[in-house]
Structure 1
Amino acid sequence: MQLGLTRRLSGLLLLLSLGGAAPVAVAAEAQLGGDEQARYLAELKRLYLTQDERKALLAHSNTLLDTYALRAAYQVGQAQRSDLRYQLSVPAPGELLIRQEVRAEKGMDLTVSNQRLSVFGLDPYIRYECPATGIVCVLQNPADGSPWLRVLRDHQGAAELAKAISFLIRNMQKS
């Protein structure tokens, strides 16, 4: 019996090690159903002390973007190291504004750009990839699938961020 369990465990470890070498592309869609959604939103409203789902989702998304921001300190060995930060806002109904700040490691150079995303007609499920090599996870633009947000390579962090932004987009599509 112990030998059979050892073989199963060895096989599982082999599968996990082989699977870890390939890029991981995931969508948040498996996590957006019924009761789980209600629990998730209730927890966020409690955490951010608000009764407004959109405010809680926006605050959580921005907190995650700050937590998993790609900082110059993580980019060891790269020639052009810089801090990369994002912030989300909702300036108008159905419109998500993404502010990107890039600050050079040395010096005071700060580049700011804004991108507007109309949420109506979009698939709200944010997909992301965390390649086995490198230090970033890339969230894909729900409008066209292009690279959209780059964050520190952390599977759980990218999954939570994709989930929060997916819920935010769904919330914005309701009104």
Structure 2
Amino acid sequence: MAMLLGTALCAALPALASAADEGALQGAEQAAYLDGLKRLYLTDNERQALLAHSNALLETYALRAGYQVGQAQRQDLLYRFAVGNAGELILREESRGQQGTAIAVRNQRVPVFGIDPFIRYECPTGGIRCVLFNPADGSPLLSIVRDHQGAGELAKALSFLIRNVQKG
């Protein structure tokens, strides 16, 4: 019995060491990602870099009226994040009519304390948009043009931003 237990333990040690290395690598990848953003946006502040990157991605992948060919009421959907009170983000949504004359602005507070910071998104095959979901309740948070890579990068940046705001 002791021999069997010893054999099982010896077989499990390399797997445990490998899992520990993956955790260290993942932490190193996160640090490299955040350091890269700080260099890109010329700041030493992690939150400012994440906010600037998230807003730049929102501008790049904005769902513009030009992408909405064949739809009756085409409009630009523009978003911007800001940090509000402790533990909350403020999402500003601006929608503009096709001619740019009708503008509607809506601000939404997104509390981040006590939620899983992972941002889920969907990019339906037949649609023109990707939808990112509010991690607090699963409701649609914002829509961008249908681009899987862009939605993934935005979800990653927002997840890091939420974690940063959760720290206080």
TM-score band w.r.t. shorter chain: 0.7 to 0.9
Runs (4+) of structure 1 exceeding 3 A deviation are none
Q: State the secondary structure of the residue aligned to 1:92.
A: coil
**2:86 matches 1:93:** yes
Write the mapping of 1:124-163 to structure 2, written as runs, cut at 5 A. 124-163=117-156
Tell me which residue corresponds to 1:34: 27
**2:96 matches 1:106:** no
Partners of 2:34 and 2:100 lie apart in 1 by: 41
Computed over aligned residues only, the root mean square deviation of the Cα atoms, in angstroms, reads 0.7
When the two structures are superposed, what TM-score results if normalisation uses the length of structure 1? Answer: 0.80
Larger radius of gyration: 2
Q: State the secondary structure of the residue aligned to 2:78.
A: strand
- Gaps (5+ residues) in structure 1? 1-32
CA offset digits 1:5-45 (Å, max 9, x no partner) = xxxxxxxxxxxxxxxxxxxxxxxxxxxx4111100000000
CA offset digits 1:117-169 (Å, max 9, x no partner) = 11100110000001101110000111101111100000000000000000000
**Cα distance, 1:107 vs. partner?**
4.8
Give the alignment partner of residue 77 of structure 1, picking from 67, 70, 74. 70
Partners of 2:118 and 2:100 lie apart in 1 by: 38
Tell me which residue corresponds to 1:46: 39
Identity of aligned residues (%): 67
- Gaps (5+ residues) in structure 2? 1-25
CA offset digits 1:74-126 (Å, max 9, x no partner) = 00000000000000000222110000000000251100000001110011000
When the two structures are superposed, what TM-score results if normalisation uses the length of structure 2? Answer: 0.84
